Structure 1
């Protein structure tokens, strides 16, 4: 693969990731992971090492992208700070444990888990009964702590921000409207990505077969290219998100989840 093609693909991916992050309240890992994995294996990186680098680098890109998106959502009053803090603190711990676990799991299993998780979350959103628009979100810190840890563990294990789980949880179980679920999820992703980043750096420090410019399982070249495009595009996604009806926002979210999930388990 030519180096220029490699760069262009990463820049296009980063642009799409930033837009999706602001629009849907997700970190964009479910977009970045497959692209990075296929690029890395195309240049000869071992698949198990490639999937771990894809996970770790995705989390490193997610952090500044989520910060950009969260600021935009906060300006529109779509971030509920108390739930975000409870879920975020628990999410850091969960993401760190998930990231360490991923360093010891075969790459094929990680890919299948990633695809299965995305499809399960998409199906859940299809069959679930949603609360009425305008209903007040549920209270109680323990629920937010539990789900924050669970989403954080998935984030660390699979190199995602956790929004792909948090948005359905907040909408279906906690009674959030779609816009506030997206905004609050963006804030929680800041925390989960930090825990995962630390775990992937530590877990990959002594790994062999890493491509150039890697720090643990995080590749700096891919990080710079992806983040450089995704950070400004997150603000564009935020603006579009708040112009869309909540029902339409859910349909877009579900369609993208189905596609990525099927791609990662090898159906597409």
Structure 2
């Protein structure tokens, strides 16, 4: 597949709309999109190209999300930076696995598929939870809790190319009893540092020829930028649609989307 800036911009726009509609992180959609694109292009080390480039897309998306949280006066500097910096350790550990011979395309596809189904489960579960219980939760984040939360999020980020919010938010909300709004805000800021650590580390990984020709290591900036711009733009439209659609239809829609993506991902490697 030849590189096309406009095509990637359109794909990013669609992914952003879907992410906004379902209220999920864009990385969950950018990873399978990039994997299919890089795999179709016949790049070597498809998995590493996918993870590195998706982490850069996630970095841009998380930065935008944190700015919105700051403007809404829902911002927690200390907790977000603390978890993000400790999460960089989890990224380094995950990178050792991702760059090993064990982590083949098949292993990656299986891992991401299981993760995607977990995200779908949590999405549906969150919609069924009693909202009063969730919003009235209380708790604080210690260094130990930050290590566990950030470490888990960073490890998953390095293996799947996502920010790790799907792991960190449930840990903070369900186990450490933080209000969901606070957990999401802390996670957004932490993901900025986790994803930054991830793609910078992978910039030093030898990767060969890229899709766009504008790359460093296994991070294809030429492919990431149009996807990210499209994702940010589409996210605003998707968030507006989210407010207009019944929650139950969103749950069914996301479950169907998860199934389609997983089937496509697995069929391409098996």
Q: TM-score, normalised by structure 2?
A: 0.78
* Equivalence map 1:149-228=2 (5 Å): 149-202=151-204, 204-205=205-206, 207-211=207-211, 212-228=213-229
Distance 1:75 1:25, change over 3 A: farther
Specify whether residues 93 and 244 from structure 1 end up closer, same or farther in structure 2 by C-alpha distance, changes over 3 A only: farther
Match of 1:78 in 2: 74
Cα distance between partner residues in 1 of 2:84 and 2:237: 24
| CA separation of 1:222 and 1:257: change in aligned 2, threshold 3 A | same
> In the TM superposition, what whole-angstrom CA distance separates every residue of 1:30-67 from its partner, at most 9, and x where no partner exists?
21121122222222324xx1222111101112112211
> 1: CA distance between counterparts of 2:249 and 2:180?
7
Structure 2 counterpart of 1:38? 36
- SS at 2:203 equivalent: helix
Q: How does 1:44-193 map to 2 (within 5 A)?
A: 44-46=42-44, 49-104=45-100, 105-124=103-122, 126=124, 130=129, 132-141=133-142, 142-193=144-195
Q: Deviation at 1:222?
A: 0.0
TM-score normalized with structure 1 length: 0.79
The alpha-carbon deviation at position 179 of structure 1 amounts to 3.6
Superposed CA RMSD in Å reads: 3.4
Aligned residues: 260
Gaps of 5+ in 2: none
**Are the aligned partners of 1:59 and 1:196 in contact in 2 as well (CA < 8 Å)?**
yes
- Which segment is superposed worse, 147-156 or 210-219? 210-219
Preserved CA contact (<8 Å) 2:15 2:30? yes
- Alignment partners' CA distance in 2, 1:259 and 1:117: 14
